[in-house]
Amino acid sequence: MKYVIVLGDGMADEPLEELKGATPLEVAVTPTMDELAKVSELGLSANIPEGMKPGSDTANLAVLGYYPKKYYSGRSPLEALSIGVPMKDGDIAIRCNLVTLTEEEGIPYGKRTIIDHSSSEITTEEADVLVKALIEAGIVKAPFSLYTGTSYRHCLIWEGGKVVDLAQPHDIPGRVIGEYLPGEDSLREMMEKSFEVLNNHPINVERAKKGLHKANSMWFWGAGTKPALISFEEKTGKKGAMISAVDLLKGIAIGTGMHVEIVPGADGTLETNYEGKAQAAVRLLKEGYDFSYVHVEAPDEMGHQGSIERKIKAIENLDSRVIKVIKDEMDAWGEPYRMMILPDHPTPIWCRTHTSDPVPFMIYDSTSAVKGADAYNEKTAKAAGLFVPEGYKLIDRLFATDTK
C-alpha cells in the first residue's frame, strides 16, 4: 500500500456574500475531488491546538503527525533548516519578509501602511539582490546575519538572542504599522533603515514601472529556537518524501528526515508547476518511497490577497492538475494506495489571514469504497459527522493504524 497527502494550503474558507453564501471550495469546479468524495471517508479535523496561533507551521506539523505543543519551536527555525542556515544552541531564527509599505514623503516609518506581505510575490532572484543590498549597506550586522530564502521569505539569525513577540504581516494588510512594530529596538531600527535602502533601489524602481508592488521594507516575525524533531520513518514506519515550493515545508521535511524533492517551476504561486509536483509524487512512490506529501501554497496566497476569483482558480488547479494527475497515474500503475486531501487551516477571504477552525478532510482508498458524499467541501465534511479533535492523530486514519 502506498500513501499520499495532497494539502491545499489555506483552501478552507467561510460562506461569502459574493458567492451567495457558498465558499470558494463549494463554488470551484472540482470533478476529481467530487468523484472521490462519493466513495471516501469525510470529516473535519482540528489541526491547530487550543492556545496556539493558526499557521502553516503548526498545522502542517499536525497533519504529519507531530503534536505542535511538543515539537513546535517557531516557524523561522524550520525555514532555516530548508535553506541550510547554520543554527547553534542559543541562536534565534526570525522570518524576514520583504513587504510593501506606502511611500508618502515626509512621514515617520511607523505612520506607513502595509499594502502587501509578499511584494507581489517577488522573484527569488530579485529578492536576493535586495537582501545583499541590505547587508552591503550595513543594515544587518553582528550579532545578526541575514540569509536569502524563497521569493519574499528570508531568514534572520540572531546569535545569542531571545524569542520576542512579533506581528505577522499577513494579519495586518491595510493597517498603519506603528502599533505592530517590534518592541526590540535593534529589530525595529533594522526595519526602519531597510525602507531607506530599498524603496528607491533599481530593482524596486523597475518593479513599480511594471505595476508590481515594491519590496521596500523588511518585516520580522516567527521567531524561534533550534528545532528538535524526531524521524518520520522511525515514528510511522513509512519512508516519506516532501514535494513543496515553500521553505517551511522543506524545513519540516529535513528536520524529520524525509526526502525533499525539488520540482522545477514550483514556486508557491498561482502559476506553480502543479503537474510537476503530482508526477514527482507518483515517481517517488514507484522508486520505493511509501508516502508522498504534496503541498500546494497557491490557495493560501490567494486568500491572503483577498481574491475570490484567484482562490477558486487555485482550488480548481489543485483538482485538475494535481489530484487528477496523481489518481490517473496511480490507477494506471495498479499499486493499491490511500490518498488524503485537506487544507492545513482556513484562510478566509474576509479576513485575509489564518483561522483555527477545523478543516475538511477526505481519505480515499483505491481498494475499499465507502459511502461518502456528493462533493468535497466544508459543508459535506461537517455533515459526515466525523470529527478529529486532535489533528496530529489524523494521519493514523490515513495509515489505518487507528480508525476509532
Beta-carbon neighbour count of residue 205 at 10 Å?
11
| Average pLDDT of the segment spanning 148-162 | 95
Spans of all domains in the chain: 2-73+229-398, 92-224
Contact 159, 145 (CB under 8 A): yes
Beta-carbon neighbour count of residue 29 at 10 Å?
10
pLDDT tens profile 35-61: 999 999 999 999 999 999 999 999 999
CA pair distance 199, 216, nearest whole angstrom: 5
pLDDT tens profile 73-122: 998 999 999 999 989 989 999 999 999 999 999 999 999 999 999 999 99
pLDDT of residue 261: 98
Q: Say yes or no to pLDDT of 404 above 70.
A: no
Distances (CA, A) of 237 to 27, 182, 215, 252, 316: 38, 43, 44, 17, 33
pLDDT band at 272 (very low <50, low <70, confident <90, very high): very high
Q: Considering only the top CATH level, what class is 2-73+229-398? A: alpha beta
- Percent of the chain topping pLDDT 90: 97
pLDDT tens profile 232-263: 999 999 999 999 999 999 999 999 999 999 99
pLDDT tens profile 185-229: 999 999 999 999 999 999 999 999 999 999 999 999 999 998 889
pLDDT tens profile 257-268: 999 999 999 999
pLDDT tens profile 346-400: 999 999 999 999 999 999 999 999 999 999 999 999 999 999 999 999 999 999 8
Inter-axis angle of helices 202-209 and 124-136, nearest 10 = 140
Distances (CA, A) of 98 to 46, 129, 194, 200, 312: 31, 12, 10, 14, 26
pLDDT of residue 402: 44
Distances (CA, A) of 384 to 42, 106, 367, 371, 377: 6, 57, 21, 10, 11
- Name the grid cell of 45: 479535523
**Residues in contact with 174: Cβ distance below 8 Å, sequence separation at least 6, in sequence order:** 113, 114, 115
Q: What sections of 50-123 are H helices per DSSP?
A: 56-63, 68-71, 75-82
- Percent of the chain topping pLDDT 70: 99
pLDDT of residue 49: 97
